[in-house]
Structure 1
């Protein structure tokens, strides 16, 4: 396992490849998940040296946090495991709404602590903004929890640049998580420069663009899940993206790696991106994700990949 890195200006040190756990107990997100397989995914990650686990209340809901808590308990404690979780979702009359109010965020942290069977959370994100709560007030509530020792760092996820600026009014935001990949690069226009300027770490989700950047699809591929409605997987856009992915195969071959490893390694060369959290449904996928760390890209290769996906 590679040397640990620090997340932004926090005192959290994590492995550059972590584990996203939306498929661990995320029965509302993926069909036919098995809880014991989910536990084994987490066990395997920890055994392989990964110390950074990313979860959320809404994965399940609640079940992902519960399974992680069970694995940590069976191991006899936290040791150096860094846990990130998220809150904001609330069920009202069977419907999901977002709530960033200080009272609800405080309640969310307490609930996560119980499910994770721990007395502190390393990184707690506001998962999505709501429509009403001033963002600096929401983050201010998390700052109080940080001062009380309930959380160690504060994150926001899926915030616009204006919402991020408001949230960071007092300089309390440590980490931003948002969608970003070689195909969807809009965050380079605002969020990433702001994060760099303010010492905030950025953690991308969907880094492989729902598998499109994994190098495993051909032009005749068909999809029956949400990708069937995703414009990236349709018509000329799909063909153009596959052509770009094909240009990475030579680099991957030279490295003895898969296209996905090259893509993930490229993100780790970016300013403010300290760590990645690829997911896994099966234990063997955890080990495969770690192969990213054996890929060393030259400056010329980094620039070439950048040019391919800017075209």
Structure 2
């Protein structure tokens, strides 16, 4: 595993984080409890010291799994836990709520779910257009001043929103979607780096499409995140992604590595990326992902992939 300092926080993050949206279960298929808990244990055993979760991941279920696994291992002081606020999961729907009282309630519930008395990094999951940004951000600042959360940041914000928020609170982190099939946030993330924020990427393997496991067009249910949130699994994007996978296949064969490791290194080797979040629900997948951080792509390989990524994401 590779590690680097995360922004100005002073925390050393593993370059790979375990994402737990899938471990929460909603919209990602049915995996038994023992397997989910073992996935978290496997991540820590592989040297992953950052776990990303949120109360919106199946109404706190993912947070509860994280809390149970970390407590059982007795490693709370060795693991950086990132969770979020301002977004809840109610009756199968995601509902934004950035009100002061709501965030305070969410924070207290997250502490209970996670079986901890502090949160290492607390993010606003999504901006709430119905609530003044100042109300949301000053609530984060007050939680930091109380010591309940140690560092704060945002996810899925625009630059303008972050500039406004920064007048009220020092933002230490930005989390956004970024991958070979969704590179559109590069300029925003570069700006965040220039502001000395730590930058985390989610969707780093394109919800699994960059593993190459799916090579034929399939239909997913409306509540499946591969149809609801990620747009790579439908045309016209799907065929372009298949062409990209063909370029990745060549490098994978030469290196004798799975495509997933190529996708992860492409993200992690961007100089503006501090941390790459990847979700997995099985031990062997986490071990395979961690192996990506034992090697790096060459400049020549990166050039080939960058060109293919540009074509795949062209209109």
TM-score relative to the length of structure 2: 0.89
Does the 8 Å contact 2:217/2:234 carry over to 1? no
Call closer, same or farther: CA 1:95–1:211 in 2, change over 3 Å.
Answer: closer
Alignment of 1:203-222 (within 5 A): 203-218=200-215, 220-222=216-218
Equivalent position of 1:18 in the other structure: 17
Alignment of 1:242-253 (within 5 A): 242-253=242-253
Call closer, same or farther: CA 1:171–1:306 in 2, change over 3 Å.
Answer: farther
Q: What's the RMSD between the two structures over aligned residues?
A: 2.2
Bigger Cα displacement from structure 2, 208-217 vs 84-93: 84-93
CA displacement, residues 199-219 of structure 1 (integer Å, 9 cap, x when unaligned):
11221211122222222332x
Does the 8 Å contact 2:19/2:280 carry over to 1? yes
Q: How far off its partner does 1:192 sit? A: 1.6
Q: Aligned partners of 1:299 and 1:113: how far apart in 2?
A: 43
Alignment of 1:6-45 (within 5 A): 6-24=5-23, 26-45=24-43
Does the 8 Å contact 1:139/1:154 carry over to 2? no
Bigger Cα displacement from structure 2, 119-128 vs 75-84: 75-84
User: Counterpart of 1:184 in 2: which secondary structure?
Assistant: coil
CA displacement, residues 89-137 of structure 1 (integer Å, 9 cap, x when unaligned):
3478997531112222222211111111111100111111111333244
Does the 8 Å contact 1:23/1:38 carry over to 2? no
Q: Aligned partners of 2:90 and 2:49: how far apart in 1?
A: 35
Show structure 2 runs of 5+ residues with no match.
none
Call closer, same or farther: CA 1:90–1:252 in 2, change over 3 Å.
Answer: closer
Equivalent position of 1:132 in the other structure: 130
Does the 8 Å contact 1:213/1:259 carry over to 2? yes
Corresponding pairs, count: 307
Q: Aligned partners of 1:94 and 1:244: how far apart in 2?
A: 33
CA displacement, residues 211-263 of structure 1 (integer Å, 9 cap, x when unaligned):
22222332x34233444676533344322221122112222222221111111
TM-score relative to the length of structure 1: 0.90
